[in-house]
Structure 1
Amino acid sequence: MTNSTALGIDIGGSHITAALVDLNTRSVIDGTWNRTRINSQGEVADIINGWAAVISEVCSHTTADILHIGIGMPGPFDYEQGISLMKGQHKYDALYNLNVKELLAERLGISPQQIRFINDAGCFLQGEVFSGAGRNYHQVIGLTLGTGLGSAVYRDGTASDGDRWRTPFKDGIAEDYLSTRWFVKRYQEISGEAVADVKALITRIGVDDRILQLFSEFAVNLGTFLSTFIKEEQPEIVIIGGNIANAADLFLPLLKKELEKQQISIPVVTATLGEAAALIGAASLWHAFQEA
């Protein structure tokens, strides 16, 4: 039980999400999910104590000692040593230059060697390759399309931040054209009306044909962006997640046609694990140990 169970954690700017993951079934264990708000502007003790409280609560759902913890953490961060390098980002400034691995281990009464970190942007893709849409592939790229544009690259058993959101694109950067804000801005330009998000746009499809044209435009932009990403990374498959991926049937067929124009024919699929991807991805850092 001990070796086959790991704790997966996703640290965000305002929350911590954690759950126990069965590394044999590659899935979150029912009833162990905990998502709690954290004051990332707080003092060191406040942050560490807040994280430790969630970890202890999740671990209370099993009689086994949880010896392995995987944490998806925002950057910049020294993932090997466990030292936070975040500064001036309105989150976790108090942890700057501190060894978070040692602080958290001490608070939990465990060894620092029981904690491993991974970049949070790569965590989603790590999970999808371990247990979802990318399973059995060795070179994968992933995108999360939502409030912002996330990108990740998986190779040699580990996913890392692709950091493509700021790639120069058209009159700005890629994130300007491949995020919720582009849909909101573009729809206001063509209709004069404001919508909150992509979900709100979809509800109007029956009464406004221009929305389908919007998704066509988005597909062309995404195809242009992805073609460069694919040619540089040479993946076997592309996985698309994030809230906008829920509307994949409105842009994925067009996206594939755009890529075919560039002589790109690799599979492009949507993510399958949802919010569990990051937790499974973080916990999977211990899979090799479990197999040993």
Structure 2
Amino acid sequence: MEDKFGLGVDIGGSHITTAIVNLNRHRILEHTRFRESVNSKGTANAITEDWLKAIRKSLSLAPVAVTRIGIAMPGPFDYENGVSLIKGNDKYESLYGINIKQVLSDHLSVPLSRICFSNDAGCFLKGELFSNPDDNCRRAIGITLGTGLGTARFKNEYAEDANLWCRPFLDSIAEEYISTRWFLNRFYQLTGKKTTGVKSLAALYDTDASVPVIFNEFAENLGRFLSEFIKEEDPEVIVLGGNIARASRFFLTNLEARLQKENLSVPIRIASLGEDAPVLGAVI
């Protein structure tokens, strides 16, 4: 059987990443990957022109004509019809109400049926799960730990944004306790000092006694949040991504122990694909 190829696209708040994907092997063709800056506050025409420039670069290097184009897009968005509903987010507001699918179809001469939009959080999870085409996972949850808290669920071959960042949690909402912001605030509360991010905080792990305490508290917070998510979704695996996950060696053991207290022993996988995950997940 001949290999088939698709175009994967990830739309970020200030960039677009595109690449040709081997659909049989679930692999990105490295020489076809492009990442371009986008002014998300620009006009609709300027934004779509930036997108089209990157898309055309990748398409020009496809070994054969692509069978479909998959696009990972932040919400709110009408994914089925390809219409932007983004408003009040200080990004891509000029696209509100525009049928992006039709615009791309017209400019690329690609049938509407071959262009598919999906939620970016869901694409991240799907991409991580299916970077191995032999992986037959049926249910999974994904957590993106960074500036904010991203959540996704995968079930019956469909991935979507779980949108749990604003779930009531302790004295506020989940994102207030499970994000970079929490780390920085907690470090300041305990030491009166400021730091720039979780990476710089982790570098102090062996020299500042407050840092292990902070990571232990984070493991407790994340474990408490995850326990409810696990009970709701019954996943076969959990995928942790985002910048905070890169410091997982400082909290993963305690996180697993916290879950074990509730007899929850779901395998935890640290995301490994970076920005390739949503590109892959958008089109496979």
TM-score, normalised relative to structure 1: 0.93
Aligned to 2:7: 7
Give the distance between the partners of 1:221 and 1:183, measured in 2 at CA: 11
Give the distance between the partners of 2:11 and 2:2, measured in 1 at CA: 23
Aligned to 1:255: 255
Seen in structure 2, the aligned counterparts of structure 1 residues 158 and 266 have a Cα distance that, compared at 3 Å, is same
Aligned to 1:279: 279
Query: Residue by residue, what CA displacement relative to the aligned partner does 1:200-251 show, whole Å, maximum 9, x if unpaired?
Result: 0111122112211111110000110000111111111111111111111111
State the shift of 1:67 in Å: 3.5
State the shift of 1:114 in Å: 1.6
Seen in structure 2, the aligned counterparts of structure 1 residues 165 and 132 have a Cα distance that, compared at 3 Å, is farther
CA contact (8 A) 2:240 2:268 kept: yes
Aligned to 1:269: 269
CA contact (8 A) 2:240 2:271 kept: yes
Deviation larger for 16-25 or 176-185: 16-25
Deviation larger for 196-205 or 133-142: 133-142
Aligned to 2:84: 84
Seen in structure 2, the aligned counterparts of structure 1 residues 2 and 46 have a Cα distance that, compared at 3 Å, is farther
Partner SS state of residue 31, structure 1 = helix
State the shift of 1:2 in Å: 8.4
Aligned to 2:219: 219
Aligned to 1:287: none
* Structure 2 unaligned residues grouped into runs of 5+: none
* Structure 1 unaligned residues grouped into runs of 5+: 285-292
Deviation larger for 56-65 or 75-84: 56-65
State the shift of 1:122 in Å: 0.8
Partner SS state of residue 31, structure 2 = coil
Partner SS state of residue 30, structure 2 = coil
Deviation larger for 202-211 or 188-197: 202-211
Query: Residue by residue, what CA displacement relative to the aligned partner does 1:36-83 show, whole Å, maximum 9, x if unpaired?
Result: 111222222111111111100111223422231100011111111111
Matches within 5 A, 1:28-39: 28-39=28-39
Aligned to 1:47: 47
CA contact (8 A) 2:3 2:24 kept: no
Matches within 5 A, 1:78-227: 78-131=78-131, 135-227=135-227
Give the distance between the partners of 1:20 and 1:255, measured in 2 at CA: 37
Give the distance between the partners of 2:173 and 2:118, measured in 1 at CA: 26
Give the distance between the partners of 1:157 and 1:139, measured in 2 at CA: 8
TM-score, normalised relative to structure 2: 0.96
Give the alignment's Cα RMSD to 1 decimal: 1.7
Deviation larger for 73-82 or 202-211: 202-211
Seen in structure 2, the aligned counterparts of structure 1 residues 140 and 63 have a Cα distance that, compared at 3 Å, is closer
Equivalent residue pairs, number: 284
State the shift of 1:3 in Å: 5.9
Query: Residue by residue, what CA displacement relative to the aligned partner does 1:76-121 show, whole Å, maximum 9, x if unpaired?
Result: 1111111111112112222212211001111112211121010011
Partner SS state of residue 62, structure 1 = coil
